[in-house]
A = this chain, B = another copy of it.
Protein backbone atom coordinates (compact mmCIF):
# COMPACT_ATOMS: atom_id res chain seq x y z
CA UNK A 1 0.00 0.00 0.00
CA UNK A 2 2.04 2.87 -1.32
CA UNK A 3 0.95 6.35 -0.50
CA UNK A 4 1.58 7.75 -3.94
CA UNK A 5 1.07 11.48 -3.45
CA UNK A 6 4.60 12.60 -2.71
CA UNK A 7 4.79 16.11 -1.39
CA UNK A 8 7.45 18.65 -0.79
CA UNK A 9 8.12 17.65 2.79
CA UNK A 10 8.90 14.07 1.82
CA UNK A 11 11.41 15.30 -0.67
CA UNK A 12 12.89 17.57 1.96
CA UNK A 13 13.16 14.72 4.42
CA UNK A 14 14.71 12.37 1.87
CA UNK A 15 17.21 14.98 0.77
CA UNK A 16 17.97 15.93 4.33
CA UNK A 17 17.01 19.57 3.85
CA UNK A 18 14.13 21.83 4.81
CA UNK A 19 11.01 22.31 2.75
CA UNK A 20 12.00 25.91 2.16
CA UNK A 21 15.06 24.82 0.26
CA UNK A 22 13.11 22.44 -1.92
CA UNK A 23 10.68 25.22 -2.69
CA UNK A 24 13.54 27.50 -3.63
CA UNK A 25 14.93 24.90 -5.99
CA UNK A 26 11.47 24.50 -7.49
CA UNK A 27 11.17 28.18 -8.24
CA UNK A 28 14.68 28.61 -9.49
CA UNK A 29 15.88 30.81 -6.68
CA UNK A 30 19.53 31.86 -6.82
CA UNK A 31 20.02 31.52 -3.10
CA UNK A 32 20.80 27.83 -3.14
CA UNK A 33 24.25 26.32 -3.29
CA UNK A 34 24.91 24.21 -6.36
CA UNK A 35 25.64 21.18 -4.25
CA UNK A 36 22.36 21.39 -2.38
CA UNK A 37 20.43 22.11 -5.52
CA UNK A 38 21.87 19.08 -7.20
CA UNK A 39 21.05 16.85 -4.28
CA UNK A 40 17.47 18.12 -4.14
CA UNK A 41 16.93 17.76 -7.88
CA UNK A 42 18.26 14.26 -7.70
CA UNK A 43 15.93 13.32 -4.87
CA UNK A 44 12.96 14.80 -6.68
CA UNK A 45 13.76 12.70 -9.71
CA UNK A 46 14.30 9.60 -7.64
CA UNK A 47 11.01 9.96 -5.81
CA UNK A 48 9.30 10.91 -9.05
CA UNK A 49 8.03 14.00 -7.32
CA UNK A 50 5.85 16.57 -9.09
CA UNK A 51 4.59 19.72 -7.43
CA UNK A 52 0.86 20.26 -7.24
CA UNK A 53 -0.24 23.22 -9.28
CA UNK A 54 -3.27 24.05 -7.14
CA UNK A 55 -1.19 24.23 -3.99
CA UNK A 56 1.26 26.59 -5.57
CA UNK A 57 -1.62 28.61 -6.99
CA UNK A 58 -3.16 29.02 -3.59
CA UNK A 59 0.10 30.12 -2.09
CA UNK A 60 1.09 32.49 -4.87
CA UNK A 61 -2.39 33.84 -5.41
CA UNK A 62 -2.17 33.23 -9.16
CA UNK A 63 -3.82 30.42 -11.07
CA UNK A 64 -1.43 30.37 -14.00
CA UNK A 65 -4.36 30.22 -16.37
CA UNK A 66 -5.95 32.66 -18.77
CA UNK A 67 -9.58 32.47 -19.87
CA UNK A 68 -10.30 32.81 -23.57
CA UNK A 69 -13.81 33.77 -24.51
CA UNK A 70 -14.89 32.88 -28.01
CA UNK A 71 -18.12 32.91 -29.93
CA UNK A 72 -18.69 30.42 -32.70
CA UNK A 73 -15.40 28.63 -32.35
CA UNK A 74 -15.82 27.05 -35.77
CA UNK A 75 -15.39 30.28 -37.67
CA UNK A 76 -12.06 30.12 -39.50
CA UNK A 77 -11.11 33.68 -38.58
CA UNK A 78 -11.77 33.01 -34.92
CA UNK A 79 -9.73 29.85 -34.99
CA UNK A 80 -6.73 31.52 -36.53
CA UNK A 81 -6.82 34.09 -33.77
CA UNK A 82 -7.33 31.42 -31.15
CA UNK A 83 -4.32 29.51 -32.41
CA UNK A 84 -2.13 32.57 -31.97
CA UNK A 85 -3.43 33.17 -28.48
CA UNK A 86 -2.95 29.59 -27.36
CA UNK A 87 0.56 29.31 -28.73
CA UNK A 88 1.79 32.44 -26.96
CA UNK A 89 0.12 31.52 -23.69
CA UNK A 90 1.53 28.01 -23.75
CA UNK A 91 4.98 29.34 -24.47
CA UNK A 92 4.62 31.58 -21.45
CA UNK A 93 3.71 28.57 -19.32
CA UNK A 94 0.11 29.63 -18.96
CA UNK A 95 -2.94 27.44 -19.34
CA UNK A 96 -5.40 28.46 -22.03
CA UNK A 97 -8.90 27.87 -20.73
CA UNK A 98 -11.25 28.11 -23.69
CA UNK A 99 -14.90 29.04 -23.27
CA UNK A 100 -17.24 28.88 -26.25
CA UNK A 101 -20.39 30.98 -26.13
CA UNK A 102 -23.17 30.37 -28.63
CA UNK A 103 -25.39 33.21 -27.48
CA UNK A 104 -25.55 36.12 -25.12
CA UNK A 105 -26.92 34.04 -22.28
CA UNK A 106 -24.03 31.63 -22.44
CA UNK A 107 -21.63 34.50 -22.79
CA UNK A 108 -22.83 36.12 -19.59
CA UNK A 109 -22.86 32.80 -17.85
CA UNK A 110 -19.28 32.08 -18.81
CA UNK A 111 -18.11 35.51 -17.86
CA UNK A 112 -19.63 35.40 -14.42
CA UNK A 113 -18.50 31.86 -13.80
CA UNK A 114 -15.01 32.86 -14.85
CA UNK A 115 -14.80 35.92 -12.66
CA UNK A 116 -16.84 34.66 -9.76
CA UNK A 117 -14.60 31.74 -9.09
CA UNK A 118 -11.39 33.54 -9.94
CA UNK A 119 -10.37 30.55 -11.99
CA UNK A 120 -8.10 32.59 -14.22
CA UNK A 121 -5.58 35.38 -13.89
CA UNK A 122 -6.80 37.21 -16.96
CA UNK A 123 -9.37 37.14 -19.72
CA UNK A 124 -8.97 37.44 -23.47
CA UNK A 125 -12.11 38.06 -25.48
CA UNK A 126 -12.04 37.23 -29.17
CA UNK A 127 -14.41 38.82 -31.70
CA UNK A 128 -17.20 39.41 -29.23
CA UNK A 129 -19.00 42.56 -28.26
CA UNK A 130 -19.02 42.93 -24.49
CA UNK A 131 -21.53 44.98 -22.53
CA UNK A 132 -20.08 47.96 -20.67
CA UNK A 133 -21.40 46.71 -17.37
CA UNK A 134 -19.47 43.48 -17.82
CA UNK A 135 -16.30 45.37 -18.56
CA UNK A 136 -16.82 47.51 -15.48
CA UNK A 137 -17.35 44.41 -13.41
CA UNK A 138 -14.12 42.85 -14.58
CA UNK A 139 -12.14 46.04 -13.99
CA UNK A 140 -13.63 46.23 -10.53
CA UNK A 141 -12.36 42.77 -9.76
CA UNK A 142 -8.99 43.89 -11.07
CA UNK A 143 -8.76 41.06 -13.61
CA UNK A 144 -6.65 41.95 -16.65
CA UNK A 145 -8.75 42.05 -19.81
CA UNK A 146 -7.58 42.08 -23.42
CA UNK A 147 -9.81 42.42 -26.45
CA UNK A 148 -9.00 40.89 -29.81
CA UNK A 149 -10.98 42.21 -32.76
CA UNK A 150 -13.09 44.66 -30.78
CA UNK A 151 -12.25 48.33 -30.54
CA UNK A 152 -13.42 49.42 -27.09
CA UNK A 153 -11.71 52.60 -25.85
CA UNK A 154 -9.52 52.50 -22.75
CA UNK A 155 -8.95 48.76 -22.96
CA UNK A 156 -5.87 46.88 -24.20
CA UNK A 157 -6.90 45.63 -27.62
CA UNK A 158 -5.82 44.41 -31.03
CA UNK A 159 -7.89 45.67 -33.92
CA UNK A 160 -8.05 46.48 -37.60
CA UNK A 161 -9.63 49.44 -39.33
CA UNK A 162 -12.76 47.75 -40.62
CA UNK A 163 -14.05 50.90 -42.27
CA UNK A 164 -10.83 51.28 -44.21
CA UNK A 165 -10.95 47.58 -45.03
CA UNK A 166 -14.42 47.91 -46.49
CA UNK A 167 -13.25 50.90 -48.46
CA UNK A 168 -10.22 49.31 -50.08
CA UNK A 169 -12.24 46.22 -50.94
CA UNK A 170 -14.83 48.38 -52.68
CA UNK A 171 -12.12 50.55 -54.24
CA UNK A 172 -10.65 47.43 -55.77
CA UNK A 173 -13.92 46.64 -57.49
CA UNK A 174 -14.35 50.26 -58.54
CA UNK A 175 -10.87 50.30 -60.04
CA UNK A 176 -11.90 47.39 -62.23
CA UNK A 177 -14.71 49.50 -63.64
CA UNK A 178 -17.63 48.20 -61.63
CA UNK A 179 -20.37 50.71 -60.85
CA UNK A 180 -23.16 48.53 -59.47
CA UNK A 181 -21.62 46.86 -56.46
CA UNK A 182 -23.59 44.74 -54.04
CA UNK A 183 -22.89 44.29 -50.35
CA UNK A 184 -23.52 41.15 -48.34
CA UNK A 185 -23.00 41.30 -44.61
CA UNK A 186 -23.99 39.58 -41.42
CA UNK A 187 -26.36 40.60 -38.67
CA UNK A 188 -23.67 41.85 -36.32
CA UNK A 189 -26.10 43.66 -34.09
CA UNK A 190 -28.39 40.70 -33.63
CA UNK A 191 -25.70 38.14 -32.95
CA UNK A 192 -23.13 38.57 -30.21
CA UNK A 193 -20.34 39.51 -32.56
CA UNK A 194 -18.52 42.75 -33.05
CA UNK A 195 -19.49 45.51 -35.44
CA UNK A 196 -16.92 44.44 -38.02
CA UNK A 197 -19.43 43.77 -40.75
CA UNK A 198 -21.25 47.05 -40.19
CA UNK A 199 -18.01 49.00 -40.22
CA UNK A 200 -16.97 47.35 -43.45
CA UNK A 201 -20.34 48.40 -44.80
CA UNK A 202 -19.56 51.97 -43.82
CA UNK A 203 -16.31 51.70 -45.74
CA UNK A 204 -18.27 50.41 -48.70
CA UNK A 205 -20.54 53.45 -48.59
CA UNK A 206 -17.53 55.72 -48.19
CA UNK A 207 -15.83 54.31 -51.27
CA UNK A 208 -19.00 54.70 -53.32
CA UNK A 209 -19.35 58.26 -52.09
CA UNK A 210 -15.81 59.19 -53.05
CA UNK A 211 -16.42 57.67 -56.47
CA UNK A 212 -19.54 59.77 -56.81
CA UNK A 213 -21.85 56.80 -56.92
CA UNK A 214 -25.27 56.95 -55.29
CA UNK A 215 -25.71 53.81 -53.16
CA UNK A 216 -28.57 51.57 -54.22
CA UNK A 217 -29.92 49.98 -51.06
CA UNK A 218 -31.53 47.27 -53.09
CA UNK A 219 -28.02 45.89 -53.48
CA UNK A 220 -27.46 45.62 -49.74
CA UNK A 221 -28.48 42.46 -47.89
CA UNK A 222 -27.64 40.95 -44.55
CA UNK A 223 -28.17 37.57 -42.93
CA UNK A 224 -26.62 34.97 -40.67
CA UNK A 225 -22.87 34.54 -40.89
CA UNK A 226 -22.53 31.28 -42.80
CA UNK A 227 -21.74 30.12 -46.28
CA UNK A 228 -25.12 28.54 -46.72
CA UNK A 229 -26.93 31.67 -45.70
CA UNK A 230 -24.76 33.62 -48.11
CA UNK A 231 -25.86 31.39 -50.97
CA UNK A 232 -29.42 32.51 -50.43
CA UNK A 233 -28.42 36.12 -49.83
CA UNK A 234 -26.43 36.09 -53.05
CA UNK A 235 -29.42 34.73 -54.92
CA UNK A 236 -31.47 37.65 -53.72
CA UNK A 237 -29.11 40.02 -55.51
CA UNK A 238 -28.69 37.87 -58.58
CA UNK A 239 -32.41 37.59 -59.13
CA UNK A 240 -32.73 41.29 -59.64
CA UNK A 241 -32.39 40.56 -63.33
CA UNK A 242 -31.08 43.49 -65.35
CA UNK A 243 -30.58 45.36 -62.10
CA UNK A 244 -28.29 42.81 -60.57
CA UNK A 245 -24.86 43.99 -59.46
CA UNK A 246 -21.79 43.47 -61.64
CA UNK A 247 -19.74 42.91 -58.52
CA UNK A 248 -20.34 41.89 -54.90
CA UNK A 249 -18.42 42.66 -51.74
CA UNK A 250 -19.05 40.11 -49.02
CA UNK A 251 -17.96 41.12 -45.55
CA UNK A 252 -16.21 37.80 -44.95
CA UNK A 253 -14.65 35.07 -47.05
CA UNK A 254 -16.99 32.55 -45.53
CA UNK A 255 -19.93 34.43 -46.97
CA UNK A 256 -18.08 35.20 -50.20
CA UNK A 257 -17.73 31.46 -50.70
CA UNK A 258 -21.50 31.17 -50.55
CA UNK A 259 -21.86 34.00 -53.04
CA UNK A 260 -19.60 32.21 -55.48
CA UNK A 261 -21.69 29.10 -55.14
CA UNK A 262 -24.82 31.13 -55.79
CA UNK A 263 -23.22 32.52 -58.94
CA UNK A 264 -22.41 29.03 -60.13
CA UNK A 265 -25.93 27.90 -59.40
CA UNK A 266 -27.27 30.74 -61.50
CA UNK A 267 -24.88 29.81 -64.27
CA UNK A 268 -23.09 33.13 -64.09
CA UNK A 269 -19.41 33.48 -64.93
CA UNK A 270 -17.07 34.78 -62.22
CA UNK A 271 -15.89 37.45 -62.64
CA UNK A 272 -17.16 37.90 -66.23
CA UNK A 273 -20.77 38.41 -65.24
CA UNK A 274 -20.21 39.19 -61.60
CA UNK A 275 -17.00 39.79 -59.69
CA UNK A 276 -16.60 38.92 -56.01
CA UNK A 277 -14.34 40.08 -53.21
CA UNK A 278 -14.38 38.86 -49.64
CA UNK A 279 -12.59 39.66 -46.40
CA UNK A 280 -10.10 37.81 -44.14
CA UNK A 281 -8.01 35.68 -46.48
CA UNK A 282 -8.67 32.35 -44.82
CA UNK A 283 -7.44 29.08 -46.28
CA UNK A 284 -10.34 28.40 -48.60
CA UNK A 285 -9.90 31.79 -50.24
CA UNK A 286 -6.87 30.73 -52.22
CA UNK A 287 -8.57 27.47 -53.16
CA UNK A 288 -11.61 29.31 -54.44
CA UNK A 289 -9.34 31.82 -56.15
CA UNK A 290 -11.21 34.44 -54.19
CA UNK A 291 -10.07 38.05 -54.10
CA UNK A 292 -10.07 39.34 -50.58
CA UNK A 293 -8.73 41.72 -47.97
CA UNK A 294 -6.04 40.12 -45.91
CA UNK A 295 -5.96 40.78 -42.19
CA UNK A 296 -3.29 39.27 -39.92
CA UNK A 297 -5.50 36.85 -38.02
CA UNK A 298 -2.86 34.73 -36.36
CA UNK A 299 -0.91 37.82 -35.40
CA UNK A 300 -3.96 39.39 -33.78
CA UNK A 301 -3.95 36.41 -31.44
CA UNK A 302 -0.25 36.44 -30.68
CA UNK A 303 -0.30 40.20 -30.13
CA UNK A 304 -3.26 40.01 -27.82
CA UNK A 305 -1.79 37.17 -25.81
CA UNK A 306 1.52 38.99 -25.57
CA UNK A 307 -0.28 41.97 -24.11
CA UNK A 308 -1.91 39.68 -21.58
CA UNK A 309 1.42 38.18 -20.59
CA UNK A 310 2.83 41.67 -20.14
CA UNK A 311 -0.13 42.69 -18.03
CA UNK A 312 0.24 39.64 -15.82
CA UNK A 313 3.91 40.42 -15.36
CA UNK A 314 2.97 43.89 -14.25
CA UNK A 315 4.82 45.43 -17.16
CA UNK A 316 3.77 48.76 -18.53
CA UNK A 317 3.51 48.76 -22.29
CA UNK A 318 2.47 51.05 -25.07
CA UNK A 319 0.48 51.28 -27.13
CA UNK A 320 -2.51 49.72 -25.48
CA UNK A 321 -4.28 49.75 -28.82
CA UNK A 322 -2.59 47.84 -31.61
CA UNK A 323 -3.92 48.22 -35.14
CA UNK A 324 -2.90 45.62 -37.67
CA UNK A 325 -2.44 46.39 -41.37
CA UNK A 326 -4.81 45.42 -44.19
CA UNK A 327 -4.05 44.55 -47.77
CA UNK A 328 -6.09 43.69 -50.84
CA UNK A 329 -5.24 40.30 -52.28
CA UNK A 330 -6.47 40.33 -55.89
CA UNK A 331 -7.33 36.93 -57.30
CA UNK A 332 -9.37 35.37 -60.04
CA UNK A 333 -12.79 36.16 -58.59
CA UNK A 334 -12.27 39.81 -59.51
CA UNK A 335 -9.37 39.87 -61.96
CA UNK A 336 -10.58 37.10 -64.22
CA UNK A 337 -9.61 33.52 -64.77
CA UNK A 338 -5.93 34.20 -64.96
CA UNK A 339 -5.46 31.12 -62.90
CA UNK A 340 -5.58 29.17 -66.10
CA UNK A 341 -2.53 31.05 -67.23
CA UNK A 342 -0.79 30.66 -63.95
CA UNK A 343 -0.19 26.95 -63.87
CA UNK A 344 3.19 26.65 -62.31
CA UNK A 345 5.56 23.93 -63.46
CA UNK A 346 5.30 21.05 -61.04
CA UNK A 347 8.89 21.36 -59.92
CA UNK A 348 8.30 24.84 -58.65
CA UNK A 349 5.07 23.96 -56.96
CA UNK A 350 6.74 21.13 -55.17
CA UNK A 351 9.38 23.45 -53.88
CA UNK A 352 6.83 25.94 -52.66
CA UNK A 353 4.81 23.48 -50.74
CA UNK A 354 7.49 21.31 -49.29
CA UNK A 355 6.62 18.37 -51.46
CA UNK A 356 10.12 17.05 -51.17
CA UNK A 357 8.53 14.48 -48.94
CA UNK A 358 6.20 13.50 -51.73
CA UNK A 359 5.72 9.79 -51.80
CA UNK A 360 4.57 7.52 -54.53
CA UNK A 361 3.19 4.07 -54.63
CA UNK A 362 1.69 2.18 -51.79
Chain A residues at the B interface, C-beta cutoff of 8 Å = 4, 50-55, 57-58, 63-65, 73-74, 76, 79-80, 82-83, 86-87, 90, 95-100, 110, 115-119, 142, 183, 187, 190, 201, 205, 215, 217-218, 220-224, 226-229, 231-233, 235-236, 239, 257-258, 260-261, 264-267, 283-284, 286-287, 289, 339-340, 342-343, 346, 349-350, 352-355, 357-362
Contact = CB atoms under 8 A, between A and B. Distances in A.
Given A73-B83, A74-B79, A201-B362, 20 more contacts: A50-B115, A51-B117, A53-B118, A57-B57, A74-B283, A95-B97, A96-B97, A97-B97, A187-B357, A218-B361, A223-B353, A224-B353, A224-B354, A227-B284, A231-B349, A232-B353, A258-B287, A260-B287, A265-B343, A284-B287
A267 B221 CA distance: 34
Contacts of A226: 283, 353
A221 B357 CA distance: 11
A25 B323 CA distance: 47
Residue in A52, A220, A339 whose Cβ sees the most chain B Cβ within 10 Å: A52
A359 B231 contact: no
B287 A227 contact: yes
8 contacts: A52-B58, A54-B57, A222-B360, A223-B358, A227-B286, A235-B349, A239-B346, A264-B339
A100 B302 CA distance: 14
Residue in A79, A258, A342 whose Cβ sees the most chain B Cβ within 10 Å: A79
Task: Report how many copies the assembly holds.
Answer: 2
Contacts of A339: 264-265
B266 A343 contact: yes
A359 B55 CA distance: 54
A358 B237 CA distance: 12
Residue in A64, A74, A267, A353 whose Cβ sees the most chain B Cβ within 10 Å: A353
A86 B74 contact: no
A110 B314 CA distance: 26
Contact of A118 (B52, B79, B286, B361): B52
Residue in A119, A201, A239 whose Cβ sees the most chain B Cβ within 10 Å: A119
A45 to B, nearest CB: 11
Contact of A83 (B100, B215, B231, B286): B100
B232 A346 contact: yes
A86 B63 contact: no
B355 A224 contact: yes
A87 B106 CA distance: 11
Q: Which 7 A-B pairs have the closest CB atoms?
A: A54-B57, A217-B361, A232-B349, A220-B362, A222-B359, A50-B116, A53-B117
A331 to B, nearest CB: 12
A218 B360 CA distance: 7
B357 A223 contact: yes
A73 B236 CA distance: 35
